[in-house]
Structure 1
Amino acid sequence: MISVPRARGGRAAAAADGRPVISVDAAAVSYGARTVWRDLDLEVQPGEFLAVLGPNGSGKTSLMKALLGRQPLSAGTLDVLGRPPREARRHIGYIPQQASLSAQTLLRSRDLVRFGIDGHRFGLWPRTGGVRRRVDEILEQVGASAYADVPVNLLSGGERQRVRVAQALATDPRILLCDEPLLSLDLNHQRAVTGLIDARRRSHRTAVVFVTHEINPVLDLVDRVLYLAPGGHRVGTPEEVLTSESLSALYGTRVDVVRVRGRVVVVGAPDGPDAQPHHAHPLHTSDGARS
């Protein structure tokens, strides 16, 4: 198992003080006899941007579920804001992967954002003027005011992700969990969505955990990388983790990493049920979008 526990680097991490918002110690997740990852040590500081990379099946989704309190650990400990994950969910903003919506969905953009404010409550609650104003403010912040009353299923992918970001910001989160938020977005919408996330991080020192197959659109924002692979994991700055030596050791075979005009190109990650050949595609496309 390859791991650099509690490594710190990057702009936000170097400047951060106080307790980490996420603390993982000797953690593991297993499904029956299959262990997805083990011996994971990690601390995420306020304002830090952590990118989570790895092939399909390496446990990226399991990590997100664990942080949300939806996936128990099989070993080790995990604290979010100094408490068990389930107790901290009110302070977490979550941007899920895009999902198809039924053509009959009548949920409007403002309804989705309102759920981020009061969707944790049970039963009926009054729709106060304060809540309406808060929803309008958040939609304006993300540039989605023009389609506040449009059903979500009628929005484009980029518009929908803006609304998802607004929903995640509605609770004034201390942590933003982003699960492949750039999937199916063109370059302009990728820049818009990452810009919104980074603006929140900088203005409120909100920690960002960003799961992605496409490192290049966020490479300039990333403080550290957690790379999960069948052969282990590694934590460190992009310069430390995204190297030929590091990834070759993780995969147990030759993997070449080159940098071209400030972009990362990864070639040679093995195919297989737990290691899809995504590295040879989205990481090196010229515009940062999926090929």
Structure 2
Amino acid sequence: MEPVIRAEKAALAYGARTVWQDLELEVGAGEFLAVLGPNGSGKTSFMKALLGRVPLSSGRLSVLGRPPGRAGRRLGYIPQQSTLAGQAALRARDLVRLGIDGHRFGLGLPNRSAGRRVDEILAAVGAAEYADVPLDLLSGGEQQRVRVGQALAADPRLLLCDEPLLSLDLRHQRAVTELVDARRRSHGTAVVFVTHEINPVLGMADRVLYLARGRHRVGTPDEVLTSQSLSELYGTQVDVLRVRGRVVVVGAPDEPSGPHRPAPQPHAAHPGARGEQRSTRRGTPRGKQGART
């Protein structure tokens, strides 16, 4: 089966600054990939590349077997929590309805059929009780539930989540991540989840893409989130500690703002690269613990 995402020697640069390079990656159906790294490391740029909003500097990238930006309704997108400019007057059900047929020219689904579908989605994401409430009256966590519903409305094969947990408390972080993971498990939807805080999704992630200093590591959480792996990635001593069931990364330097050209990485530095055997599969115990990046 063709992978949902395929990157071959993919590189992205802004002027003289290399964001990441030599990325070899395949994401399969039903896989959960967590994308980690400090501010400015290229996490959101990776998401933009998948959406077709920024071009690669070199290499190849395909999404659902097509060039980025041409996956259509087979791709769902949950953005960062943001202002509701132009949407504040919409009700929760209106936003989900846009996910069903807002992309279409002309007539969409019949009102009765679309209404039933909206009600089903709102119930599935736990937002039925505020279906008719304007978005600007909802809490941040409630708004994100509705955005999850909007992203799932078109029954996507791939779900891109760009920092959807920002500004949410732990209860709402758990609610949003559980909704996303439930969709993955029930429908085989692949998930790419960009996050600063890995703990809420570590138990769900099959693999991690960690970006830093123009370099990257790909592998299982146990392979990537180690002192040795991250020290090699950052080029300085970084400690990964287990504290009360959570993994805390200590000593990771901030991402430099100026240009940098990372040295080429050896082949062995890509444990999750295409063609290599994955060491774990979903459902296999890994003894995971929480992590903070």
Of residues 64, 74, 79, the one that matches 1:91 is 74
- Amino acid of the residue matched to residue 201 of structure 2? V
Specify which of 102, 126, 151 is matched with residue 119 of structure 1: 102
* Aligned 8 A contact 1:56 1:274 in 2: no
Contact 1:233 1:250 in 2 (8 A): yes
Q: Equivalent residues in 2 for 1:138-177 (5 A)? A: 138-177=121-160
Amino acid at match of 2:187: H
Distance 2:102 2:86 in 1: 23
Q: 1:187 aligned to 2:170?
A: yes
The residue identity in structure 1 corresponding to 2:196 is H
**Secondary structure, counterpart of 1:85 in structure 2:** coil
Q: Residue type of the partner of 1:92? A: L
Deviation at 1:105, TM superposition (A): 2.2
Task: Give the alignment partner of residue 249 of structure 2, picking from 249, 259, 266.
Answer: 266
Distance in 2 separating the partners of 1:224 and 1:59: 17
Aligned to 2:31: 48
AA of the residue aligned to 2:218: V
CA distance in 2, matches of 1:180, 1:169: 17
Shift of the 194–83 alpha-carbon distance from structure 1 to 2, 3 Å rule, reads: same
TM-score relative to the length of structure 1: 0.85
Q: Distance in 1 between matches of 2:85 and 2:64?
A: 36
The amino acid across from 2:129 in the alignment is A
264 and 104 in structure 1: CA distance in 2 versus 1, 3 angstrom threshold: closer
Contact 1:117 1:171 in 2 (8 A): yes
Q: Does the 8 Å CA contact 1:102/1:153 hold for their aligned counterparts?
A: no
Q: CA RMSD in A?
A: 2.1
Q: Which moved more, 1:266-275 or 1:247-256?
A: 266-275
Alpha-carbon contact 2:119-2:128 (below 8 Å) kept: yes
**Corresponding letter in the other structure for 2:189:** T
What code does the residue aligned with 2:46 have?
A: L
For the residues of structure 2 that align with 1:288 and 1:110, how far apart are their CA atoms? 35
Q: Distance in 1 between matches of 2:62 and 2:144?
A: 28
Q: 2:209 aligns with which of 212, 226, 231?
A: 226
Task: Give the Å deviation of 1:42.
Answer: 0.4
Alignment correspondent of 1:5? none
Q: Percent identity?
A: 74
Aligned residue number for residue 46 of structure 2? 63
The structure-2 alpha-carbon separation of the partners of 1:21 and 1:200, relative to structure 1 and needing over 3 Å to count, comes to same
Amino acid at match of 1:162: R
The equivalent position to 1:213 in structure 2, one of 196, 204, 221, is 196
User: How many residues matched?
Assistant: 262
Q: Does 1:196 align with 2:174?
A: no
1:54-87 Cα shifts (integer Å, max 9, x gaps) = 1111111111111111111111111111111222
Indicate the SS of the match to 1:86.
coil
Bigger drift between 207-216 and 76-85 goes to 76-85
Q: How does 1:7-22 map to 2 (within 5 A)?
A: 18-22=1-5
- Structure 1 residue 33 displacement after superposition: 2.0
Cα distance in 2 for residues equivalent to 1:289 and 1:63: 20
Check whether the contact 1:78–1:85 (CA below 8 A) recurs between aligned residues.
yes
Rounded Cα–Cα distance in structure 1 between residues aligned with 2:54 and 2:87? 32
Distance 1:52 1:103 in 2: 30
CA contact (8 A) 1:55 1:274 kept: no
**Contact map agreement 1:187 1:288 (CA 8 A) in 2:** no
CA distance in 1: counterparts of 2:214 and 2:146, whole angstroms: 37
- 3-state DSSP of counterpart to 2:242: strand
Q: Report the Cα distance in structure 2 between the residues aligned to 1:115 and 1:163, rounded to whole angstroms.
A: 11
Q: Does the CA-based 8 Å contact 1:46-1:206 persist in structure 2?
A: yes
Structure 2 unaligned runs (5+)?
259-289
TM-score normalised per structure 2: 0.85
Separation in structure 2 between the aligned mates of residue 81 and residue 113 of structure 1, nearest angstrom: 23
Give the whole-Å Cα distance in 2 for the aligned partners of 1:64 and 1:272: 18
Q: Kindly provide the CA deviation profile for residues 238-282 of structure 1, in whole angstroms up to 9, marking residues without a partner as x.
A: 11101111111111111000122331110001135449xxxxxxx
